[in-house]
Amino acid sequence: MPHIDSWIPVAPGSDFTIYNLPYGAFAHKGGVRLGIAIGDRILDLYALGDAGLTEGVCDRALLMATSLNPLLAAGPAIWKKLRLHLAALLRGDDRGDASLRERNADGFFVEQRAATMVVPMEIGDYVDFYSSLEHATNLGKLFRPNSEPLLPNWRHMPIAYHGRTSTVVIDGTPILRPNGQRTPANSDGPVFGPSQRLDIELEVGFVTGPGNRFGEPIPIGRAREHIFGLVLVNDWSARDIQAWEYQPLGPFLGKSFATTISPWIVTLDALEPFRTNGPGQDPAPLQYLRGSDRSAYDIALAVDLSTEKMREAGVAPITISRTNFKELYWSMLQQLAHVTVNGTQIRPGDLYASGTISGSQPESMGSLIELTENATKPIHVPGGEVRGFLQDGDEITLRGWCEQGEFRIGFGTARGRITPAR
Ligand code: MN
């Protein structure tokens, strides 16, 4: 890959090199503006469109909107054209387009640290899959210890549930410990109160572009055209509430209280150099789920934990899990083909999360219930504390990035700190 620098400085190790150009939205004078991340700044797409610097590339209304939905609906040809144009405006050599650089460029950029990011799309539907073989096996053992961990359908379809869009929140939003019903400890019936087994789920979600027509499934060979890009997702889970409620219809209040996403949507175009093969599938899936070679992405993932005591003592967060998105058994293309096979509609801005991404190693599990084997082997934290599940004041940060030598792109963070139940 040829080395290209932007004229906006990018620090070594930054997630936001010129190869990335992810899309987000930030609060601006009582409204919302769209932007792309470059280095530690945001290029204001409203200002760019308003100045006529995207003439002939796309309708400026797509960039001057208050959510990404119009751009998501515009489809892959426009996305590619815009990406090439933005890269040309930002590249530092003489092979780019100098029109932005020649302006008083200050008016087009804001500092990321001074910006308040918001969820960049209006999410119509949110689905959470269960696509990691390791995670499904581990959870099966923990939730149903006396039976076969994988249910008979698991290797034949990407299992999922419909989640809740209203509580999808952006990086940094405090997470209120949920109240709810827990499994009866005795014959007196269930206990009500704050969850005592609050957990995380390390996931990656895709954001959809153009939808399909009602009644017309998206064939797997066309699924990629309907995916704009990816975000990190923390599907916070109250395991005690989940365990009591989940049969027979699946997760409900144990999940719906909050779901955190990272603020920048990293596009499939940016991720293309990191496209790779996923694990083999046995048995071969049904015909409508076949044909997704090289549909995995090599994305390194990490989970960091810091407790209130650690922060008071000035101790840096510790990394409690490392895994990779490419480990998932079911691909995004299979997920999307499956979602629509019955003719249901997807729409621009839908969010489809992968399910917890767990690897085969003990330190590669994407949830605390797996990492600590249901709190029986708690994590030892600097300062002498231990953690089975999350305590009030704990902060979890998900990170994700792709690297080949000096070539790097990343997702930023999906952070959340637990606040006490009300
Ligand atoms: Mn999940």
**Residue 283 alpha carbon to ligand 1 centre in Å:** 24
* pLDDT computed for residue 3 by the predictor: 81
- Mean predicted confidence (pLDDT) in 360-378: 95
- Per the structure block, which two tokens stand in for 385? 């504390």
* pLDDT computed for residue 211 by the predictor: 98
* pLDDT computed for residue 182 by the predictor: 93
**CA gap 166, 394 in Å, rounded:** 24
State the pLDDT confidence band at 143, using cuts at 50, 70 and 90.
confident
**CA gap 59, 108 in Å, rounded:** 18
Domains assigned to the chain? 23-118 (2.30.30.230), 126-419 (3.90.850.10)
**259 φ, ψ to 5°?**
-140, 120
* pLDDT computed for residue 184 by the predictor: 79
Q: Reply yes or no on whether the pLDDT at 241 is more than 80.
A: yes
**CA gap 308, 419 in Å, rounded:** 11
* pLDDT computed for residue 103 by the predictor: 87
Task: Respond yes or no on whether the N-terminal peptide bond of residue 248 is cis (omega within 30° of 0).
Answer: yes
**Residue 161 alpha carbon to ligand 1 centre in Å:** 9
State the pLDDT confidence band at 293, using cuts at 50, 70 and 90.
confident
- Each residue of 167-178: pLDDT tens digit? 999 999 999 999
**Residue 145 alpha carbon to ligand 1 centre in Å:** 20
**Residue 371 alpha carbon to ligand 1 centre in Å:** 15
- Each residue of 26-72: pLDDT tens digit? 999 899 999 999 999 999 999 999 999 999 999 999 999 999 999 99
pTM above 0.85, yes or no: yes
- Each residue of 148-167: pLDDT tens digit? 999 999 999 999 999 999 99
- Each residue of 87-142: pLDDT tens digit? 999 999 989 999 999 986 778 999 999 999 999 999 999 999 999 999 999 989 88
Q: Mean pLDDT in the chain?
A: 96
**Residue 67 alpha carbon to ligand 1 centre in Å:** 25
Percent of the chain's residues with pLDDT above 70: 99
What stretches of 74-183 adopt beta strand conformation (E)? 109-111, 117-118, 126-129, 160-162, 168-170, 175-176, 179-182
Q: Reply yes or no on whether the pLDDT at 292 is more than 80.
A: no
**102-106, 245-249, 352-356, 416-420: least confident range:** 102-106
**Residue 42 alpha carbon to ligand 1 centre in Å:** 30
- Out of 85, 135, 226, 338, the active site residue is 135
* pLDDT computed for residue 106 by the predictor: 73
**Residue 130 alpha carbon to ligand 1 centre in Å:** 7
Q: 135 an active-site residue? A: yes
Long-range (24+ apart) CB contacts under 8 A made by 282-290 are 282/155, 283/155, 283/156, 285/156, 285/157, 285/334, 286/156, 286/157, 288/217, 288/219, 288/220, 288/337, 288/338, 288/341, 289/157, 289/158, 289/220, 289/334, 289/337, 289/338, 290/220
Q: Reply yes or no on whether the pLDDT at 356 is more than 80.
A: yes
Q: Reply yes or no on whether the pLDDT at 307 is more than 80.
A: yes
State the pLDDT confidence band at 1, using cuts at 50, 70 and 90.
low
Percent of the chain's residues with pLDDT above 90: 91
* pLDDT computed for residue 412 by the predictor: 98
**Residue 390 alpha carbon to ligand 1 centre in Å:** 16
State which H helix or E strand residue 35 sits in. strand 31-38
Of residues 254 and 107, more confidently modeled: 254
**Residue 313 alpha carbon to ligand 1 centre in Å:** 32
Q: Reply yes or no on whether the pLDDT at 291 is more than 90.
A: no
Q: Reply yes or no on whether the pLDDT at 200 is more than 80.
A: yes
